Amino acid sequence: MNPAPNLVMVGPMGAGKTSIGRRIAERFSLDFVDVDHAVIEENGASIPAIFEAVGEAGFRAREHTALARLLDGEGQVVASGGGAVLDPANRALMRERGFVVYLHVGVETQLARVGRDRNRPLLQGVDRREVLTRLLEVRDPLYREVADLVLDADRLTPGEATAALVGRLAREWQRSGVDAA
Ligand code: S3P
**Predicted confidence (pLDDT) per residue in 121-144, tens digit:** 999 999 999 999 999 999 999 999
- Separation of CA 181 and ligand 1 centre (Å): 31
Res 115: pLDDT: 81
Burial-class residue 177 by CB neighbours within 10 Å (0-12, 13-18, 19+): exposed
> Ligand 1, atom 8: nearest CA belongs to which residue?
81
Residue 48 in contact with ligand 1 by CB distance below 6 A: no
Give the pLDDT band of residue 176 (cuts 50, 70, 90).
Answer: very low
pTM equals 0.94
Residue 16 in contact with ligand 1 by CB distance below 6 A: no
Single out the residue of 163, 152, 139 nearest to residue 109, CA to CA: 152
Q: At the topology level of CATH, where does 2-172 sit?
A: Rossmann fold (3.40.50)
- Separation of CA 147 and ligand 1 centre (Å): 18
Residue 47 in contact with ligand 1 by CB distance below 6 A: yes
Res 180: pLDDT: 44
Q: Which residue out of 9, 102, 120 has the highest number of ligand 1 atoms within 8 Å of its CB and is therefore the one to mutate? A: 120
Residue 66 in contact with ligand 1 by CB distance below 6 A: no
Instruction: Give the integer Cα–Cα distance in Å for 139 and 12.
Output: 8
- The domain ranges of the chain are 2-172
Q: Which tens digits make up the pLDDT trace of 9-64?
A: 999 999 999 999 999 999 999 999 999 999 999 999 999 999 999 999 999 999 99
Res 72: pLDDT: 96
Give the pLDDT band of residue 83 (cuts 50, 70, 90).
Answer: very high
Res 178: pLDDT: 47
